[in-house]
Structure formats: C-alpha cells, structure tokens
Amino acid sequence: DGGITQSPKYLFRKEGQNVTLSCEQNLNHDAMYWYRQDPGQGLRLIYYSQIVNDFQKGDIAEGYSVSREKKESFPLTVTSAQKNPTAFYLCASSPGTFHEAEAFFGQGTRLTVV
Amino acid sequence: GENVEQHPSTLSVQEGDSAVIKCTYSDSASNYFPWYKQELGKGPQLIIDIRSNVGEKKDQRIAVTLNKTAKHFSLHITETQPEDSAVYFCAAPQIQGAQKLVFGQGTRLTINP
C-alpha cells in the first residue's frame, strides 16, 4: 500500500534532550512537509522540502532541524533549543507544490516533554 | 503572504441536518482549495478540493463552493451522520514567496443524535 508513515506514534522526551521523529513515504512524492499542531489550533509549518538535498524554513523553524538525504525520508529533530516542544507533529507529502496537487498526511507523532 | 480565516470554530447540528463551514483567503493568486477532516488522534485526510476554474464541486453528501471574486469558499455537508463528527480544516496555497499550504484554524463539528 502506498502511503506516508510516521513513527513513533507517541514519544516522550526529557528536558534538554534531542529527539528525532521519522517520516517515510512510498508515494514517490517530491515535496515533503512538517507541521506542528497545538490543541484547538490549526497547523503551523515548521520545515518543507521540495526536492532531495534541499529544504526551507517554515513559519516556526526555531528549535527544529531536518534533513532530506533520500526522496522518501524527511526526519525532524526537535532540539533542546525548542522551548515548548509538547505538541502533535504531522508530516505530509505531495507530488509537487501545494498549488498543484493534494497533500497526504501521516498519522502524526504526539511528543510530550516529561 | 496568504491568510486563511475559518468560521465557525465550533458547530453543533442535529443528525440529518446540514452543516456549513466558511473560509476566506487573501491571496488572489491562490488556485487550489482543499478541505481536510481530522479525527481524534489522527492526521488530516483530504475529503474534497476545488480548483479556481470551477465554482462548485460535489461528492455525495459533501460539496464545496468557491467565490473567487469575494475570495471565499465553503464546505457543505448534507444529511449529517454521527461519523461526520470531527475537526475540519480549510486551506489555501501561498503562491508568492515560500510555497506552502496555509490552514484555517479548524472547525470542530459535532453531530447530535
């Protein structure tokens, strides 16, 4: 089955730790995105990548880092510099830019700082 | 950049009635308008979308209308059922500068039996 897979579903982080969220897609999509969702709020863009080996900051990139070494993978690292990392993180992919084609979302990773 | 406003934030309707959610956008160059449904603890799923060359699109009980002049688009759900209860997001692409999808704040729809 084609799709976009995020892991883990739940993640707990101690203060001061870096954690990495996985996002893999087998849809052969060029573009991939990371969004953050806080309770009762919309989705805010963290980082996006339109092609392998290239990525751009979104609206709330501070405290996060990404890599795009393979077309199918776009991992997100939440660093200790992110002051309020507890949130629901969503990865998405699309064949091209958003004004051309629909985006597919993963099932999300819920990160909690303990 | 693109700005998307969505109303209402919460909506409660009786089963079998219709529900309407409205969004406005700011970038007149935007040409693609998707609607997503998000169930609790899951990622958003596309339920319907519309491109700027049409004014309305229907898919069974769901329809979307677009008014490009007024820069607003709406989601219509008829004959609502309990499984329609979820959070719904509209979105519009930002064309200039950083190319990204800008989401509305979401509408929590509750269908009362």
- Residues of A whose CB is below 8 A from B6: 42
| Lookup result for tokens 């730790």 | A17
Which range among A26-40, B28-42, B59-73, B88-102 shows the weakest confidence by mean pLDDT? B88-102
pLDDT of residue B96: 74
**What average pLDDT score do residues A96-112 get?**
82
pLDDT of residue A2: 66
- What is the distance in angstroms between the Cα of A55 and the nearest Cα belonging to chain B? 11
pLDDT of residue B52: 81
Q: What DSSP character marks residue B83?
A: G
Q: Could you tell me if B100 and A54 are in contact, meaning their C-beta atoms sit under 8 angstroms apart?
A: no
Alpha carbon distance A13, A17 (integer Å): 6
**Which of A20-24, A40-44, A81-85, B54-58 holds the top average pLDDT?**
A20-24
**Which of A77-86, A91-100, B4-13, B48-57 holds the top average pLDDT?**
B4-13
Contact A33 B101 (CB under 8 A): yes
Assign 3-class secondary structure to chain A: CCCEEEECCEEEECCCCCEEEEEEECCCCCEEEEEEECCCCCEEEEEEEEECCEEEECCCCCCEEECCCECCECCEEECCCCCCCCEEEEEEEECCCCCCCCCEECCCEEEEEC
Contact A99 B42 (CB under 8 A): no
**Span B60-99, pLDDT tens digits:** 999 999 999 999 999 999 999 999 999 999 999 887 766 6
Q: Does B31 touch chain A (CB under 8 A)?
A: yes
**What average pLDDT score do residues A45-51 get?**
92
**What average pLDDT score do residues B17-24 get?**
98
- Residues of A whose CB is below 8 A from B43: 6, 90, 105-108
**What average pLDDT score do residues B23-37 get?**
92
- Residues of B whose CB is below 8 A from A33: 100-101
pLDDT of residue A103: 85
| Nearest neighbour of B49 by CB, restricted to A50, A102, A104 | A102
Q: Does B98 touch chain A (CB under 8 A)?
A: yes
**What average pLDDT score do residues A45-50 get?**
92
pLDDT of residue A102: 80
Contact B44 A110 (CB under 8 A): no
pLDDT of residue B98: 66
pLDDT of residue A32: 93
B54 by Cβ neighbours in 10 Å (0-12 / 13-18 / 19+) ranks as exposed
Torsion over CA: A94, A95, A101, A104 (sign):
negative
pLDDT of residue A99: 56
Chain mean pLDDT for chain B: 93
pLDDT of residue A1: 58
Confidence class for position A54, pLDDT limits 50, 70, 90: very high
Q: Does B107 touch chain A (CB under 8 A)?
A: no
| Nearest neighbour of B104 by CB, restricted to A42, A104, A108 | A42
pLDDT of residue B85: 97
pLDDT of residue A100: 62
